[in-house]
């Protein structure tokens, strides 16, 4: 069975406050198969949001690869990644970002 979402050796490094590299994720492997439910849990600052941003194609990893439904993110340009997010991914963010010019009421 092929994984719907797969991460292999995913790594993310940011520049720390002192300018030195800060490795947030190291060698993360994950497989999610069609129909599975997965929870990403951990303490504050453990890298959960960073991992979700990488899995959701909102950011690129410093190393390793992510695939969704057979598409390897590293092989896709910005437009193809936007199309992938539009057609195959969904997020419910912890904090909402409402836009005043839109309404929930249908007129």
28: domain CATH number? Answer: 3.40.50.300
Range of the domain at 28: 5-88
For residue 39, being part of any structural domain is answered with yes
For residue 79, being part of any structural domain is answered with yes
For residue 107, being part of any structural domain is answered with no
- pLDDT at position 101, please? 76
Domain count, the chain: 1
- pLDDT at position 46, please? 92
Burial class (CB in 10 A: 0-12, 13-18, 19+), 25: buried
The pLDDT tens digits for 34-86 are 999 999 999 998 999 999 999 999 999 999 999 999 999 999 999 999 999 99
Pick the more confident residue, 99 or 79.
Answer: 79
Average pLDDT over residues 24-38: 95
Cα three-residue angle 97-98-102, rounded to 5 degrees = 145
Strands (E), the chain: 5-15, 21-32, 63-68, 71-72
- pLDDT at position 31, please? 97
Q: What percent of the chain has pLDDT over 70?
A: 91
């Amino acid at each position: 069975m092929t994984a719907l979402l797969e991460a292999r050796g995913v790594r993310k490094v940011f520049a720390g406050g002192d300018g030195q590299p800060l490795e947030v994720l190291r060698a993360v492997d994950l497989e999610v198969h069609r129909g599975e439910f997965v929870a990403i849990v951990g303490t504050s600052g453990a890298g959960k949001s960073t991992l979700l941003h990488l899995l959701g194609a909102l950011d690129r990893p410093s190393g390793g690869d992510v695939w969704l439904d057979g598409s390897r993110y590293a092989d896709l340009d910005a437009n193809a990644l936007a199309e992938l997010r539009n057609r195959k991914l969904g997020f419910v963010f912890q904090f909402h970002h409402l836009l005043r010019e839109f309404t929930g009421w249908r007129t």
